[in-house]
Chain A
Amino acid sequence: MFLKNNKYSEEELIELLRRQDRKAFNYLYDNYSDAIYGIVLKVVHTEEVAQDLMQDIFVKIWKNITQYDGSKGRLFTWMLNVARNSAIDYLRIKRPEIQDIDTAVYLVEGGQKAHDDWTTPELQEIVSRLRPEQQKLIEMVYWGGYTHEETAKQLDMPLGTVKTRVRGALQDLRKIFGA
Protein backbone atom coordinates (compact mmCIF):
# COMPACT_ATOMS: atom_id res chain seq x y z
CA MET A 1 0.00 0.00 0.00
CA PHE A 2 1.14 3.51 -0.29
CA LEU A 3 0.60 4.76 3.20
CA LYS A 4 3.30 6.79 4.83
CA ASN A 5 6.35 4.79 5.63
CA ASN A 6 6.95 6.06 9.13
CA LYS A 7 10.09 5.28 11.01
CA TYR A 8 10.21 5.65 14.76
CA SER A 9 12.99 5.54 17.27
CA GLU A 10 12.43 2.92 19.96
CA GLU A 11 11.50 5.66 22.47
CA GLU A 12 8.98 7.28 20.14
CA LEU A 13 7.47 3.93 19.31
CA ILE A 14 7.00 3.00 22.96
CA GLU A 15 5.56 6.38 23.82
CA LEU A 16 3.04 6.09 20.97
CA LEU A 17 2.16 2.51 21.88
CA ARG A 18 1.41 3.63 25.42
CA ARG A 19 -0.98 6.14 23.96
CA GLN A 20 -2.64 3.25 22.07
CA ASP A 21 -1.70 4.69 18.73
CA ARG A 22 -2.90 2.60 15.80
CA LYS A 23 -0.04 3.52 13.46
CA ALA A 24 2.52 2.64 16.08
CA PHE A 25 1.01 -0.79 16.51
CA ASN A 26 1.01 -1.28 12.75
CA TYR A 27 4.66 -0.42 12.68
CA LEU A 28 5.44 -2.69 15.61
CA TYR A 29 3.63 -5.59 14.01
CA ASP A 30 5.12 -5.08 10.57
CA ASN A 31 8.62 -4.87 11.97
CA TYR A 32 8.58 -7.62 14.55
CA SER A 33 5.89 -10.15 13.71
CA ASP A 34 8.10 -12.18 11.35
CA ALA A 35 10.84 -12.64 13.92
CA ILE A 36 8.38 -13.48 16.70
CA TYR A 37 6.42 -15.87 14.51
CA GLY A 38 9.63 -17.65 13.57
CA ILE A 39 10.43 -18.21 17.22
CA VAL A 40 6.94 -19.31 18.20
CA LEU A 41 7.01 -21.83 15.36
CA LYS A 42 10.30 -23.13 16.66
CA VAL A 43 8.75 -23.79 20.04
CA VAL A 44 5.33 -25.16 19.10
CA HIS A 45 5.98 -26.53 15.58
CA THR A 46 2.37 -26.20 14.43
CA GLU A 47 1.31 -23.26 12.32
CA GLU A 48 -2.23 -23.29 13.67
CA VAL A 49 -1.10 -23.20 17.29
CA ALA A 50 1.57 -20.63 16.48
CA GLN A 51 -1.04 -18.34 14.96
CA ASP A 52 -3.29 -18.61 18.01
CA LEU A 53 -0.32 -17.84 20.20
CA MET A 54 0.63 -14.87 18.04
CA GLN A 55 -2.76 -13.37 18.83
CA ASP A 56 -2.20 -13.84 22.57
CA ILE A 57 1.31 -12.51 22.32
CA PHE A 58 0.52 -9.32 20.45
CA VAL A 59 -2.51 -8.62 22.62
CA LYS A 60 -0.28 -9.11 25.68
CA ILE A 61 2.38 -6.83 24.25
CA TRP A 62 -0.27 -4.24 23.57
CA LYS A 63 -1.78 -4.45 27.03
CA ASN A 64 1.47 -4.67 28.95
CA ILE A 65 3.54 -2.13 27.09
CA THR A 66 3.20 0.16 30.11
CA GLN A 67 5.16 -2.43 32.11
CA TYR A 68 8.05 -2.43 29.70
CA ASP A 69 11.01 -0.65 31.27
CA GLY A 70 13.46 0.64 28.66
CA SER A 71 16.26 0.90 31.22
CA LYS A 72 16.17 -2.88 31.68
CA GLY A 73 16.73 -3.82 28.07
CA ARG A 74 15.74 -3.59 24.48
CA LEU A 75 12.15 -3.66 23.32
CA PHE A 76 12.79 -6.71 21.20
CA THR A 77 14.22 -8.61 24.18
CA TRP A 78 11.10 -7.85 26.14
CA MET A 79 8.84 -8.91 23.28
CA LEU A 80 10.88 -12.04 22.82
CA ASN A 81 10.32 -12.90 26.48
CA VAL A 82 6.58 -12.35 26.20
CA ALA A 83 6.55 -14.59 23.14
CA ARG A 84 8.74 -17.29 24.59
CA ASN A 85 6.84 -17.38 27.87
CA SER A 86 3.50 -17.65 26.08
CA ALA A 87 4.75 -20.43 23.85
CA ILE A 88 6.32 -22.34 26.72
CA ASP A 89 3.27 -21.86 28.94
CA TYR A 90 1.22 -23.31 26.14
CA LEU A 91 3.43 -26.37 25.98
CA ARG A 92 3.48 -26.88 29.73
CA ILE A 93 -0.22 -26.28 30.36
CA LYS A 94 -1.92 -27.59 27.27
CA ARG A 95 0.44 -30.46 26.78
CA PRO A 96 1.59 -31.64 30.19
CA GLU A 97 3.47 -34.57 28.68
CA ILE A 98 6.10 -32.02 27.68
CA GLN A 99 7.13 -31.78 31.31
CA ASP A 100 8.75 -35.11 30.80
CA ILE A 101 12.09 -34.13 29.44
CA ASP A 102 12.60 -37.14 27.20
CA THR A 103 9.29 -36.60 25.46
CA ALA A 104 10.11 -32.94 25.15
CA VAL A 105 13.38 -33.59 23.43
CA TYR A 106 11.73 -36.11 21.18
CA LEU A 107 9.21 -33.45 20.22
CA VAL A 108 11.89 -30.84 19.70
CA GLU A 109 13.83 -33.14 17.46
CA GLY A 110 10.73 -34.18 15.53
CA GLY A 111 9.82 -30.55 15.24
CA GLN A 112 13.22 -29.65 13.99
CA LYS A 113 12.73 -31.88 11.01
CA ALA A 114 9.33 -30.34 10.43
CA HIS A 115 10.51 -26.77 10.58
CA ASP A 116 13.42 -27.26 8.23
CA ASP A 117 10.92 -26.13 5.64
CA TRP A 118 10.69 -22.75 7.31
CA THR A 119 14.39 -22.14 7.44
CA THR A 120 15.56 -19.20 5.37
CA PRO A 121 18.74 -19.34 3.30
CA GLU A 122 20.09 -16.55 5.47
CA LEU A 123 19.62 -18.61 8.59
CA GLN A 124 21.11 -21.70 7.01
CA GLU A 125 24.14 -19.62 6.21
CA ILE A 126 24.45 -18.37 9.77
CA VAL A 127 23.71 -21.65 11.43
CA SER A 128 26.06 -23.52 9.15
CA ARG A 129 28.87 -21.51 10.67
CA LEU A 130 28.04 -22.78 14.14
CA ARG A 131 29.10 -26.19 15.29
CA PRO A 132 26.20 -28.67 15.49
CA GLU A 133 26.37 -28.94 19.28
CA GLN A 134 26.28 -25.17 19.53
CA GLN A 135 23.21 -25.04 17.32
CA LYS A 136 21.47 -27.57 19.46
CA LEU A 137 22.28 -25.72 22.66
CA ILE A 138 21.01 -22.39 21.36
CA GLU A 139 17.82 -24.00 20.10
CA MET A 140 17.15 -25.68 23.42
CA VAL A 141 18.06 -22.85 25.72
CA TYR A 142 16.80 -19.82 23.80
CA TRP A 143 13.86 -21.05 21.83
CA GLY A 144 13.02 -24.39 23.40
CA GLY A 145 12.44 -23.19 26.92
CA TYR A 146 14.86 -25.57 28.57
CA THR A 147 16.69 -24.55 31.69
CA HIS A 148 20.40 -25.13 31.70
CA GLU A 149 19.88 -27.98 34.16
CA GLU A 150 17.43 -29.72 31.84
CA THR A 151 19.74 -29.19 28.90
CA ALA A 152 22.68 -30.58 30.85
CA LYS A 153 20.71 -33.64 31.88
CA GLN A 154 19.42 -34.27 28.40
CA LEU A 155 22.73 -33.88 26.64
CA ASP A 156 24.53 -35.69 29.44
CA MET A 157 26.93 -32.83 29.98
CA PRO A 158 28.12 -31.11 33.16
CA LEU A 159 26.12 -27.98 33.94
CA GLY A 160 29.25 -25.81 33.77
CA THR A 161 30.00 -27.08 30.27
CA VAL A 162 26.48 -26.23 29.10
CA LYS A 163 26.86 -22.70 30.42
CA THR A 164 30.29 -22.19 28.85
CA ARG A 165 29.17 -23.57 25.52
CA VAL A 166 26.00 -21.53 25.36
CA ARG A 167 28.09 -18.47 25.99
CA GLY A 168 30.67 -19.59 23.41
CA ALA A 169 27.99 -20.12 20.80
CA LEU A 170 26.58 -16.66 21.40
CA GLN A 171 30.06 -15.16 21.17
CA ASP A 172 30.55 -16.87 17.82
CA LEU A 173 27.18 -15.67 16.63
CA ARG A 174 28.04 -12.17 17.69
CA LYS A 175 31.13 -12.33 15.49
CA ILE A 176 29.03 -13.65 12.62
CA PHE A 177 26.56 -10.80 13.00
CA GLY A 178 29.48 -8.42 13.37
CA ALA A 179 28.12 -6.91 16.57
Chain B
Amino acid sequence: MIDVKAYIESGVLEDYLGGNVSEQERREVECLSKIYPEIKTELDQIADTLEGLARAQAVKPPAALKDKIMAQLEFEDAPEENEQEEAEEAPVIPLNARPQGMQWRWLAAASVVGLIGVGVYFNARVDELSQKVALQTTELHQKNEWIAALNRAENQFVTLKGLDKSPSSSVRVVWNPTTQEVALNVLSLPQPATDKQYQLWALVDGKPVDLGVFDVKDDLQKMKLAAKADAFAVTLEKKGGSPTPTLTELYVMGKVG
Protein backbone atom coordinates (compact mmCIF):
# COMPACT_ATOMS: atom_id res chain seq x y z
CA MET B 1 0.00 0.00 0.00
CA ILE B 2 1.48 3.32 -0.99
CA ASP B 3 0.67 6.73 0.40
CA VAL B 4 -1.51 7.96 -2.44
CA LYS B 5 -1.65 11.54 -1.21
CA ALA B 6 2.13 11.78 -0.92
CA TYR B 7 2.53 10.18 -4.32
CA ILE B 8 0.23 12.73 -5.92
CA GLU B 9 1.97 15.58 -4.15
CA SER B 10 5.42 14.41 -5.19
CA GLY B 11 4.78 16.03 -8.59
CA VAL B 12 5.52 12.85 -10.50
CA LEU B 13 2.14 13.05 -12.28
CA GLU B 14 2.95 16.50 -13.65
CA ASP B 15 6.34 15.18 -14.76
CA TYR B 16 4.66 12.24 -16.43
CA LEU B 17 2.36 14.46 -18.45
CA GLY B 18 5.26 16.71 -19.35
CA GLY B 19 7.14 13.71 -20.70
CA ASN B 20 9.73 14.27 -18.02
CA VAL B 21 10.00 10.86 -16.40
CA SER B 22 12.28 7.85 -16.65
CA GLU B 23 11.02 4.64 -18.20
CA GLN B 24 10.59 3.14 -14.75
CA GLU B 25 8.63 6.10 -13.42
CA ARG B 26 6.46 6.04 -16.49
CA ARG B 27 5.50 2.40 -15.90
CA GLU B 28 4.93 3.13 -12.25
CA VAL B 29 2.52 6.00 -12.99
CA GLU B 30 0.64 3.93 -15.55
CA CYS B 31 0.40 0.97 -13.21
CA LEU B 32 -0.59 2.94 -10.10
CA SER B 33 -3.19 4.98 -11.96
CA LYS B 34 -4.89 1.72 -12.83
CA ILE B 35 -4.89 0.58 -9.22
CA TYR B 36 -5.79 3.83 -7.45
CA PRO B 37 -8.75 5.79 -8.79
CA GLU B 38 -7.54 8.93 -6.95
CA ILE B 39 -4.33 8.89 -8.98
CA LYS B 40 -6.24 8.36 -12.20
CA THR B 41 -8.58 11.27 -11.37
CA GLU B 42 -5.68 13.54 -10.51
CA LEU B 43 -3.89 12.58 -13.71
CA ASP B 44 -6.99 13.30 -15.78
CA GLN B 45 -7.46 16.66 -14.09
CA ILE B 46 -3.90 17.74 -14.76
CA ALA B 47 -4.33 16.55 -18.34
CA ASP B 48 -7.49 18.65 -18.65
CA THR B 49 -5.64 21.67 -17.29
CA LEU B 50 -2.92 21.24 -19.89
CA GLU B 51 -5.51 20.80 -22.59
CA GLY B 52 -7.27 23.96 -21.43
CA LEU B 53 -3.99 25.85 -21.51
CA ALA B 54 -3.20 24.50 -24.96
CA ARG B 55 -6.63 25.47 -26.21
CA ALA B 56 -6.30 28.93 -24.76
CA GLN B 57 -3.20 29.50 -26.81
CA ALA B 58 -4.54 27.80 -29.92
CA VAL B 59 -3.56 29.28 -33.27
CA LYS B 60 -5.46 28.48 -36.41
CA PRO B 61 -3.15 26.91 -39.00
CA PRO B 62 -3.59 28.04 -42.62
CA ALA B 63 -6.49 26.27 -44.33
CA ALA B 64 -4.29 24.80 -47.07
CA LEU B 65 -2.37 22.79 -44.49
CA LYS B 66 -5.28 20.44 -43.90
CA ASP B 67 -5.46 19.53 -47.59
CA LYS B 68 -1.73 18.90 -47.65
CA ILE B 69 -2.03 16.56 -44.70
CA MET B 70 -5.12 14.81 -46.00
CA ALA B 71 -3.31 14.14 -49.29
CA GLN B 72 -0.67 12.16 -47.39
CA LEU B 73 -3.12 9.88 -45.65
CA GLU B 74 -4.68 6.77 -46.95
CA PHE B 75 -8.32 6.49 -46.08
CA GLU B 76 -10.33 3.37 -45.96
CA ASP B 77 -13.33 4.41 -47.99
CA ALA B 78 -13.78 0.89 -49.25
CA PRO B 79 -13.54 -1.50 -46.30
CA GLU B 80 -12.92 -4.65 -48.38
CA GLU B 81 -9.55 -3.29 -49.51
CA ASN B 82 -8.09 -3.86 -46.08
CA GLU B 83 -8.79 -7.56 -46.06
CA GLN B 84 -7.20 -7.91 -49.44
CA GLU B 85 -4.04 -6.19 -48.23
CA GLU B 86 -3.69 -8.56 -45.35
CA ALA B 87 -4.09 -11.54 -47.62
CA GLU B 88 -1.31 -10.27 -49.89
CA GLU B 89 1.22 -9.86 -47.13
CA ALA B 90 4.38 -11.93 -47.48
CA PRO B 91 4.84 -14.83 -45.08
CA VAL B 92 6.81 -14.01 -41.96
CA ILE B 93 9.66 -16.31 -41.09
CA PRO B 94 10.80 -16.14 -37.50
CA LEU B 95 14.44 -15.07 -37.21
CA ASN B 96 15.25 -17.58 -34.53
CA ALA B 97 13.73 -20.56 -36.28
CA ARG B 98 16.17 -23.44 -36.43
CA PRO B 99 15.24 -25.60 -39.33
CA GLN B 100 16.44 -29.16 -39.25
CA GLY B 101 17.61 -31.35 -42.08
CA MET B 102 16.23 -30.32 -45.46
CA GLN B 103 13.70 -28.02 -44.03
CA TRP B 104 15.88 -24.91 -44.53
CA ARG B 105 15.72 -25.34 -48.30
CA TRP B 106 11.99 -25.02 -48.13
CA LEU B 107 12.32 -22.02 -45.89
CA ALA B 108 14.82 -20.40 -48.25
CA ALA B 109 12.52 -21.07 -51.18
CA ALA B 110 9.59 -19.72 -49.24
CA SER B 111 11.48 -16.57 -48.33
CA VAL B 112 12.46 -15.97 -51.97
CA VAL B 113 8.86 -16.38 -52.96
CA GLY B 114 8.02 -14.06 -50.10
CA LEU B 115 10.49 -11.43 -51.32
CA ILE B 116 9.16 -11.59 -54.86
CA GLY B 117 5.73 -11.28 -53.38
CA VAL B 118 6.82 -8.21 -51.44
CA GLY B 119 8.30 -6.67 -54.60
CA VAL B 120 5.16 -7.29 -56.61
CA TYR B 121 3.12 -6.03 -53.74
CA PHE B 122 5.09 -2.78 -53.46
CA ASN B 123 4.96 -2.12 -57.17
CA ALA B 124 1.24 -2.60 -57.08
CA ARG B 125 1.05 -0.28 -54.08
CA VAL B 126 3.05 2.44 -55.84
CA ASP B 127 0.73 2.28 -58.84
CA GLU B 128 -2.27 2.32 -56.60
CA LEU B 129 -0.95 5.27 -54.63
CA SER B 130 -0.12 7.36 -57.69
CA GLN B 131 -3.60 6.73 -58.96
CA LYS B 132 -4.94 7.82 -55.62
CA VAL B 133 -2.91 11.03 -55.67
CA ALA B 134 -4.19 11.84 -59.17
CA LEU B 135 -7.71 11.14 -58.03
CA GLN B 136 -7.34 13.28 -54.94
CA THR B 137 -5.93 16.17 -56.93
CA THR B 138 -8.95 16.11 -59.23
CA GLU B 139 -11.18 15.81 -56.21
CA LEU B 140 -9.52 18.84 -54.66
CA HIS B 141 -10.03 20.96 -57.77
CA GLN B 142 -13.66 19.93 -57.82
CA LYS B 143 -14.01 20.78 -54.14
CA ASN B 144 -12.51 24.23 -54.68
CA GLU B 145 -14.99 24.88 -57.47
CA TRP B 146 -17.70 23.68 -55.17
CA ILE B 147 -16.70 26.02 -52.42
CA ALA B 148 -16.73 28.93 -54.84
CA ALA B 149 -20.15 27.87 -56.14
CA LEU B 150 -21.52 27.48 -52.64
CA ASN B 151 -20.44 30.93 -51.60
CA ARG B 152 -22.53 32.78 -54.17
CA ALA B 153 -24.96 35.26 -52.70
CA GLU B 154 -27.91 34.20 -54.84
CA ASN B 155 -27.86 30.62 -53.51
CA GLN B 156 -31.06 29.27 -52.02
CA PHE B 157 -30.69 26.70 -49.26
CA VAL B 158 -33.69 24.45 -48.84
CA THR B 159 -33.95 21.79 -46.14
CA LEU B 160 -36.22 18.98 -47.25
CA LYS B 161 -37.92 17.53 -44.17
CA GLY B 162 -39.01 13.93 -43.62
CA LEU B 163 -42.61 13.05 -44.44
CA ASP B 164 -44.82 10.28 -42.97
CA LYS B 165 -42.82 7.62 -44.78
CA SER B 166 -39.65 8.53 -42.91
CA PRO B 167 -40.09 11.45 -40.48
CA SER B 168 -36.45 11.57 -39.33
CA SER B 169 -35.07 11.90 -42.86
CA SER B 170 -33.67 15.15 -44.13
CA VAL B 171 -31.85 16.41 -47.20
CA ARG B 172 -30.28 19.81 -47.85
CA VAL B 173 -30.57 21.28 -51.35
CA VAL B 174 -28.60 24.25 -52.65
CA TRP B 175 -30.03 25.89 -55.72
CA ASN B 176 -28.63 28.81 -57.61
CA PRO B 177 -31.50 30.33 -59.66
CA THR B 178 -29.02 32.30 -61.74
CA THR B 179 -26.70 29.52 -62.82
CA GLN B 180 -29.52 26.94 -62.37
CA GLU B 181 -27.07 24.64 -60.55
CA VAL B 182 -28.45 22.24 -57.97
CA ALA B 183 -26.52 20.28 -55.38
CA LEU B 184 -27.67 18.20 -52.48
CA ASN B 185 -26.34 16.88 -49.26
CA VAL B 186 -27.96 13.88 -47.59
CA LEU B 187 -28.32 14.67 -43.91
CA SER B 188 -30.28 11.54 -43.13
CA LEU B 189 -31.97 8.97 -45.34
CA PRO B 190 -32.35 5.22 -44.89
CA GLN B 191 -29.96 3.20 -47.06
CA PRO B 192 -32.09 1.87 -49.96
CA ALA B 193 -32.18 -1.71 -51.26
CA THR B 194 -29.54 -2.35 -53.95
CA ASP B 195 -32.07 -2.21 -56.79
CA LYS B 196 -33.43 1.18 -55.65
CA GLN B 197 -32.17 4.75 -55.78
CA TYR B 198 -33.41 8.08 -54.51
CA GLN B 199 -34.46 10.68 -57.06
CA LEU B 200 -34.68 14.43 -56.66
CA TRP B 201 -37.54 16.41 -58.18
CA ALA B 202 -38.19 20.10 -58.57
CA LEU B 203 -41.85 21.07 -58.38
CA VAL B 204 -42.64 23.75 -60.94
CA ASP B 205 -46.24 25.01 -61.02
CA GLY B 206 -47.33 21.75 -59.40
CA LYS B 207 -45.48 19.56 -61.92
CA PRO B 208 -42.47 17.40 -61.04
CA VAL B 209 -39.26 17.90 -63.01
CA ASP B 210 -36.58 15.20 -62.79
CA LEU B 211 -33.27 16.41 -61.30
CA GLY B 212 -31.53 13.04 -61.29
CA VAL B 213 -30.81 10.16 -58.93
CA PHE B 214 -28.35 10.15 -56.07
CA ASP B 215 -26.87 7.84 -53.45
CA VAL B 216 -26.82 8.01 -49.68
CA LYS B 217 -23.33 9.34 -48.92
CA ASP B 218 -21.81 12.28 -47.13
CA ASP B 219 -20.41 14.08 -50.12
CA LEU B 220 -22.17 16.95 -51.74
CA GLN B 221 -23.77 15.64 -54.96
CA LYS B 222 -24.28 17.63 -58.11
CA MET B 223 -27.72 17.25 -59.64
CA LYS B 224 -29.29 18.31 -62.96
CA LEU B 225 -29.93 22.00 -63.61
CA ALA B 226 -33.19 23.57 -62.51
CA ALA B 227 -34.42 26.73 -64.22
CA LYS B 228 -37.38 27.09 -61.90
CA ALA B 229 -38.44 25.46 -58.63
CA ASP B 230 -41.22 26.13 -56.14
CA ALA B 231 -40.24 23.15 -54.02
CA PHE B 232 -37.94 20.13 -54.01
CA ALA B 233 -38.87 16.55 -53.19
CA VAL B 234 -37.17 13.16 -53.01
CA THR B 235 -38.78 9.81 -53.85
CA LEU B 236 -37.42 6.31 -53.81
CA GLU B 237 -37.40 4.82 -57.31
CA LYS B 238 -35.98 1.85 -59.15
CA LYS B 239 -32.25 2.09 -59.81
CA GLY B 240 -31.53 4.75 -62.44
CA GLY B 241 -34.71 6.67 -61.72
CA SER B 242 -38.24 6.96 -63.12
CA PRO B 243 -39.80 9.41 -65.59
CA THR B 244 -42.47 10.35 -63.03
CA PRO B 245 -42.27 10.23 -59.23
CA THR B 246 -43.84 7.35 -57.28
CA LEU B 247 -45.85 9.42 -54.82
CA THR B 248 -46.30 6.57 -52.33
CA GLU B 249 -42.51 6.62 -51.97
CA LEU B 250 -42.18 10.30 -51.16
CA TYR B 251 -39.48 10.66 -48.49
CA VAL B 252 -38.66 14.34 -47.97
CA MET B 253 -39.90 17.66 -49.28
CA GLY B 254 -39.20 21.37 -48.81
CA LYS B 255 -40.44 24.64 -50.24
CA VAL B 256 -38.12 27.22 -51.77
CA GLY B 257 -37.92 30.54 -49.97
Contact = CB atoms under 8 A, between A and B. Distances in A.
Interface string B25-63: 000001001100000000111111111111111111110
Nearest to B52: A177
B19 A81 contact: yes
B14 interface: yes
A179 B70 contact: no
Contacts of A179: 45, 48-49, 52
A9 interface: no
B77 interface: yes
Contacts of A73: 17, 43-44, 47
B65 A54 contact: yes
A25 B9 CA distance: 37
Interface string A72-89: 111011001100110000
Interface residues of B, number: 53
Contacts of B195: none
Given A33-B61, A51-B65, A173-B53, A77 B185 contact: no
B73 interface: yes
Contacts of A118: 57, 59
A59 B43 CA distance: 27
Given A33-B61, A71-B34, A81-B19, A177 B185 contact: no
Interface in A137-152: 138, 141-142, 147-148
A2 to B, nearest CB: 6
Contact of B54 (A3, A39, A163): A39
Contacts of B174: 2
A4 B147 CA distance: 16
Given A39-B57, A81-B19, A20 B76 contact: yes
A15 interface: no
A170 B65 contact: no
Contacts, number: 147
B75 A4 contact: no
Contacts of B50: 77, 80, 142, 170
B127 interface: no
B75 A77 contact: no
A128 to B, nearest CB: 12
Given A4-B218, A173-B49, A51 B56 contact: no
Contacts of B163: none
Contacts of A122: 56
A21 interface: yes
B215 to A, nearest CB: 15
A67 interface: no
Contact of B66 (A33, A50, A84, A173): A33
Contacts of B11: 163-164, 166-167
Contacts of B76: 19-21
Interface residues on A, range: 35 or more
Given A3-B218, A33-B66, A77-B17, A119 B185 contact: no
A174 B49 contact: yes
A106 interface: no
Contacts of A71: 34
B57 A120 contact: yes
B54 A4 contact: no
Contact of B48 (A55, A62, A147, A177): A177
B69 interface: yes
A166 B57 CA distance: 19
Interface of B: 9, 11, 14-15, 17-20, 30, 33-34, 43-62, 65-66, 68-70, 72-77, 79, 82, 147, 150, 157, 172, 174, 185, 187, 218, 220
15 contacts: A4-B218, A19-B76, A20-B76, A21-B75, A25-B70, A25-B75, A29-B70, A33-B60, A51-B62, A54-B65, A80-B54, A119-B57, A148-B15, A163-B14, A170-B49
Given A25-B73, A51-B65, A120-B57, 7 more contacts: A21-B76, A22-B77, A29-B66, A55-B68, A123-B56, A163-B11, A166-B18
